[in-house]
Amino acid sequence: MDRTFVMIKPDGVQRGLVGEIVSRLESKGLKLIAARFEILSEKRINEQYREHLKKPFFPSLKKYIMGGPCFLMVWEGRDVVSIVRKVIGATNPQEASPGTIRGDFGNDIGRNVIHASDSHESAAHEIAIHFKPAELFPYTRIDESVIYEY
């Protein structure tokens, strides 16, 4: 099974969307194998968003992410990276389709509720930033035989 990193940002936590988001991903047949609330350190935010460090919006992004608790998660499933990206929708909520998390709950690109890894490589990198291997709890869902064709 593949793994991906997902983070509900402070606006999603503040708006009480954690349960709704977890429910949508679980309903899709994905498996939550790690999760916790945390206010991220500047060091981890810099690692998480390293490709944006020199961009003009980064200081505002960093202040926003550090401004409240985030809900960090690792999800597992076949093709989980692409599935999660489809469920969350386009980065800009104005372009996200209705029925996606950002399409239903996001209003502004700077407050778009959720982050998810965009590739297997970024997923591995982001999971390693936020979770130790001992903090991941893989298991077999009782319904996997009806979710996946083996």
Q: How far apart are CA 70 and CA 38, in angstroms?
A: 5
Q: How far apart are CA 95 and CA 102, in angstroms?
A: 9
Q: What is the pLDDT of residues 75-123, one digit of tens each?
A: 999 999 999 999 999 999 999 999 999 999 999 998 999 999 999 999 9
* Residues marked as catalytic: 115
- Domains defined for the chain, CATH in brackets: 2-138 (3.30.70.141)
Q: What is the mean pLDDT of the chain?
A: 96
Q: Tell me how crowded residue 138 is: count the other CB atoms within 10 A of its CB.
A: 11
**Could you tell me the pTM of the whole model?**
0.95
